[in-house]
Every structure is written in structure tokens, then in C-alpha cells.
Structure 1
Amino acid sequence: MIVSLDIQQTCTNILPEVSAALVSNAPDLTVDSIMALNQWCTGLSTYQISQTEGAVLKNALSVLSAVIGWNQDQAIMIIQKLLLSGVYQIYDVKRLQDLGSLIIGVSSSVITSIPNNFVLGAVQSPSFLANVKTAPVIIQQTIVSQMDKQKFLKTFIRGLRKSGISEMKIINMMSMVKESSKSLRFKRATECTVGQIMQVQIYSDSFPFNYDVTQFNVCLSVQTLKFNLEAITDKVYDRDFQRIILNKLNQAYPDGIPDEVLQVLGSSSRAAMPDDVKKWSVTKIDTLSSLMNSRNGDWDHQMVQLIISKYLSVSGNFLGTNELNSIRGSNLCALNASVLNNITAASVEQAAALSLNAVQRRRGFCSVSLRMHSVQ
């Protein structure tokens, strides 16, 4: 498939979802193609990013760090590729600031490993502060905890005011400072120091806010998670915490996470990587429906394809009316040509997810997706 490097110009005057479809079908990424995509890099899937060499991402960092609109999963994947491949290390203030908008993908454990003076120097940059403002609360809190109170008040708060952040946001930040001295004592702990997570803690109003990432990991046993999974996933929305949940479930079910567990994962399912999904047991339509529920967040198209392929790999399973209604929305446009060709006209006609209005709204998106599939 030939995709023009001039994607930015090509995608300027079409719907954002169509642009995303075009980008999602781009070939292997190079520095030149990333530079051509520029702000349209937000259309890249985590799967595409995961297949890109760390050196390519490093050489294109000046573009990637300036992209506005990354979701956290994309940023996490880029940061992981950079750090784990060894091509990028945060050894000074500039290296931290150079991450730009990707700061939202830096885990709290990585931040705590960065020398305090680097963090203190970085927060004096208005642009760095603006990017921190878009990061999850746990990242903001970890950054705050890396500084003592006096230095925080003199630099971080002053910088926040200069960058135009609201007073309420600053008040919340200052509240974090009061708590940072507590959390800092166990940031690098390998033992549970704040109390094992049991049923009584899970149903407490303060759960999981009284645990940082490290303590959540060491204080939550696999057994407790298995017996209280739905209650925990109903309360946990932080991606680092959700990743811990998935890691522990992989320990609990080494042969693959079964249907009944997948059905109660909720938004924690969106912390999964392709290798996780490949081991899932998606055999029931209730599981498919739960995983495709848009209230739990969006999926990359490659992840949709993986999940649906797991469902279709089960003897007797096919995409009928009920399945189409479960997949619904733009997820339907992730289906490849071979899958689409096996859907009967009757199933399409009876599917509520493919009502006339819905089809009209997504006609451009789906037609582009289908054309791209047809030429691969």
C-alpha cells in the first residue's frame, strides 16, 4: 500500500475520524513520515507505536513532543519505547523538558527516580507546566512530592500562576504538598507499609486514594483482587493502577483471563497491550459487549481487530445482529475486509448500531477504512 508522506496536507480538509483512518493504515513509521504527519500523529495507534524502533522515536522527538492531543496510552507507549530501548535517558533538566506533551506518559515510578533538582529545574518552564497540567493527577502529585514545600511554593506555584492556571488548580496542588511528606516516606518501599488491601479498605471512601502506585502494587494480593475484582475496577481509573490490576490477573490466570473476569474489567481493559489480549478468552457475546462498551473508553482499531478475532476463533461464533450491536460505533470500521465479507445483509439490516443516521454520520470514515483494507 502506498501512502503519501504529505499526509498532513491530504488530511487537512477532511473529517478528523477519516484522517485517523488514513493514519492508522500508514506503513512502518520512519522519522520522515512522523515529521510529515506532525499533529496528525494523534491518529497513530499504540500498536503502530509499539512496532516502531526506539531510535526512530528519539530522532523524531522534537515533533512528537510538540504534538497536542496525545491520549495517555499513546504517550505511555512512546515513553516506554524510548526508555526501555535505552536510546533515551533523563539525565538532566533539558532531557525532562524535551519530553514536552509526552510527559503525560511518564510513570510515577520513573518520576520518583529522577533527581529532585531536575524536577525543580523543569517546573520553572511555563511550557513544561502547561504540559503537566494535562497529566493525570497522580503524575502531578508525584512531581509535587519530589520537591520540598518551600521550593515548591517559590517555583512551582509561581510558575503555575504565570502560565494562567486557575486558582482552584493551584489550591489543589498545594493540598498535594501537605500530603507529599506522607507519601514520600514510602515511594520506594518494597513492603506494604500503609496496610494490606482487604475488603474493608476496598469499600472505604478513601480507596484507592490513600495508596500510591508502589503501595497499591505491594499491598494488593492476587487473591484479594480475584475475590473483589469488580469492586476494585469500579473505583480505579488511573492507568498505572489499572496496569497493576492486569499484571496481577495475568499471574492469577497464566493460561489466559477467562470470560467472567473480562466482563467486569471495565475501563481497566483499556490498559491492556496486544500481548495481553492475545491471551484473553473472548468466547461469549456478553464478554464482547462488555469489552466494546464505549463508556469504558476507546480502543485502537488494531486492538478491536484482536478482540474480535479472538471471539471469531471460537467454533460457532460469527458476527450477527447482536454482535454488531455490541461492537457498534466507529469500532465497526476497524473490521477488515475478510470479516466484513462474512457478515450477512440480514444481520446488517437488523442491527440497531447501523441505523440510517449512524451510517450517514460515519459514511466517510467507513468508506475510507474499507478502501484502505481493500488495497493492503
Structure 2
Amino acid sequence: MTSAPTTTMPAPRKHLLDVLRFGAAFAVVVYHFTATPTASTYWGTDVTALFDGINQVTRYGWLAVEAFFVISGFAILWSSQGRTVAQFTGSRAGRLYPALWACVLVTALLQSVWTGGRELSVGDTLLNLTMAPDVFGAELSQVVYWTLLVELKFYVLVGLLMLLGPLTRGRVLTLALAWPAAGMLVRGFGYPEVAEHLVVRHSVYFGIGMILFLLWQDVSARREAEPDGTRRALAVDAGALALLLVLAGDRVTTSSEHAAALQGVPVHAGVAVVVLLAVVGAVWLAVQPGATVREPHLAALCVLAGALTYPLYLVHTQFGWAVTEALAGQGVNAWAVLVAATTVSLVLAAAIHYAVERPFSTRLRRAVTRRLTPGPTRPSRPVAPDDRAAQGHDAHAVRSQDVVAQAQQARVAA
């Protein structure tokens, strides 16, 4: 074990991680508007021909979801450090549910007046509020909501791991490697449905993010001249990352075939693998010490981009397609329609962020944390007003083999 850090000063916010998250969300938006068969329905023509130029790029936009999972693997471990299970659960609830509830409700309003959208029953709409409508066989309010259950399963696994004790390196490595391995074994033994419940198709991306987090810690520890044990830790990190990248490359190759069949255009596996590697490299670069924007106005813009990522992701498909159908049907220029659909999605995302997330996320986080904290005991430290680590905000940079215990020791020492 390495020694505990001697300071609890927060690490600089990772502004480029904010930008990367927003870029991934924007890629999903453009993918849904210019590359999917559903989009062709609302445009009234084949989007692969209508947007032939940019479609050569946007047809790979589905990889942005994999990027989100990689970022989540890193950010969730970061946000869990120094927190109890109650605090971790509260942070996730406060971060995710207010925006989701708002998006589901405004989407239901749209669907009540727009005949071209999804026609959900009241029951299905209410089940979408749980973040796990798939479990109940309900129709999704928006097509992207399937990823929410995948994320939720990851949070549950991390929460269960926290119940066992501190998130040691060994436990994190075990989760990162054993999760995809278990899924593949289950599938190999002829239980594909169970493998789907284990989200084996996506677990490798979370694993990559988790290993990047450990690697980030160990590189930081070595940079700060901590004991030579970091050399062995770095070797283990590198080996685990290489293994997961191989598995992810195989996964992306298979997904490329599915994407090509869905879109009816060539989706080259080699290009997809390169994009995946570029995503992993971008995440790594985004969390380096120099990845901080110091110009105040530009930094504020990065923060806003990170804040809009989640509501933009949640709200864009139904509203964007409604705008597309309305304007394209009137013969409006395709590029003007695309700009209008994207702008409406961004404006709605901003409205949800300012009107719902900012006033209610902190309240829900604190309420859930208090509810789950046993007896009169209060959290060991105040709950942050926003989920800083998950959005790339300041967080305690714990540079040890024990992600949680060392941070707590440092606070006591201070």
C-alpha cells in the first residue's frame, strides 16, 4: 500500500472531459438525424443520399454511446471516492432522475399532439420514469433510453462493490475484468438472455474506463514520487487495458456488421476500431494535468457544454424528428431543417437544465442521502452541490491503491 496523500486539495476541473462528453452527445444527435432509417421516414427520403457527404462520417455516430460508457467507467469511480454508499446513491439519483422525469413528461406532451411520434400508454410513460422501462416490457419514450438501464446496472455493481468495503485496486480490477469475462462465459454456455441481462456487449467499455481511472491514479502517484510500487501497478494497468481493448475491438467489429445492416450502407470495422481507440486516447488526454481551460469565459462554456450533455441526449430524438417532419414536409432546405432540429433540441436541453436540474438535483441528492444514512449519523462530509466527478468537476485526487480508505485517512490527517 502506498501512503495516503498529505493534502485534500481538489484537483482541477477537467474541462476537456466536459467537451468530450458534449461532443459524444452531439455525435449521437447528428447520427439520429442523418444516418438512421427512422430519420429517413421523417425526411421523406433516404438520408444516406440526402446527406451523402457527412453521412460518410455520421454513420459511425453510434460509437458515441460506447464513448459514453468508457467515460462513465472513469467518472463513476472518480465520483465514488470518499463517499459512502448512501452518498454515492444520492449523487446518482440527483444527477440522473430530475432531467429524466422532465424529459419523459415533455415528450409525453409532444406525443399527445404529434401523430408521427411514439404512441405510449400512460402506464408505459410512467414506467419510463423509473429509468428501467425495459425491465417491465414498456415502450421507450425515446429510442436512446435503452442505454439508461445499461448505465444503471453499472451503478448497481459499483454500489454493491462499495458495500463489500473500500474500492481497492484489486476489487476494481476484478470488476473491470471479471464482468465481461462472466458475460462471455454465460453466453458460451448457451444462455444469451442471461448474458444480455449482464450487458456483456457493453461491460468491456465500462471496464476500459475503470482501468483508465486506475492508470490515471498510478501515473499521478508516480509523478508525485510515491514509492516504487507504482511501477508494478502501472504494468498491471497496462496489461488489463490492452486485454480489454482487444475485447472491445472484437465487440466493435461485430457491432459494425449490425450497424451496416441497420443503415444499409458500408460501416467498416477497421474505421470503427480506430474511432474507438481515438475515444480511449481522448479520454486519457482529457484527464491529464494540463487539460484545464484557464480562460474564465471559455472554461464557463466548457462547463455549460458538460451540463447540457445529459438533457440533450435524453430529449433530442422525438423533438428533432418532429421538427424534421414538419419542415421537410414543407420543402424547407435540408440543411436548414437539420440546423432547426438540432437547435430545438439544444434549447430544450438548456431549459431542462436551468428549470429542472439546477433547482432540484441537489435537493434530491440530499434527500436520498439522508434517507439512506442510518440513524442520526450524518455524512462524513457535505454532499457537493453537483456531481462534480461525474461531470469532470473538481474531486479529491486519491493517489493510492485504496480509492476510498486512503482519502478518508487523508481527511483525518488534515
Q: Which has the higher helix share?
A: 2
**Which TM class, normalised by the smaller chain length?**
under 0.3
With normalisation by structure 1, the TM-score equals 0.28
Task: Pick 1 or 2: higher relative contact order, CA cutoff 8 A, min separation 6.
Answer: 2
